[in-house]
Structure 1
Amino acid sequence: MDRGDFLTVSVDEKIRNAIQVARKFLEQYNSPVIFKSAVLNDCICEIVMDVGLAHEKIVQVKINIVTGTIIEYTQ
């Protein structure tokens, strides 16, 4: 999705798009990537994913839903 598209969609769509951005980012380095949760705080979507193969390994990605950019990644 083009970053300019983030300006013209609803909040629900922005959250779904942010989840997809996080998934694509994490899939570059991990397999599998399993969605756990997403919480919206103002314009920051905090997404939790499990990237563990044999054991659960939780990571969090924070994405600005206005711009569609990744702000923070933590393990």
Structure 2
Amino acid sequence: MYSPVYLKHNTGSHPENSSRLTAIINWIEKENLTKKLINLTPIPATVEQISLIHDKKYIHNVKEACDNLIPPLPPL
């Protein structure tokens, strides 16, 4: 699963950053694996789906933090 929007995920110097994803995509292309893969377009999860894994209080806290700290992201 991949979307170019993933490259906008800025984690600073953390190992999980956009250069890691770029390296993976480049390797897949270099090895001619693109045609062997099925590209799935991500869709936003519903709160109901997220609550299957995360506690509702945690979901509320994350939403509240996001609403107060950063401008809303455009839809994918």
Q: TM-score, length-normalised on structure 1? A: 0.25
Larger Rg: 2
Name the one with the larger strand percent.
Answer: 1
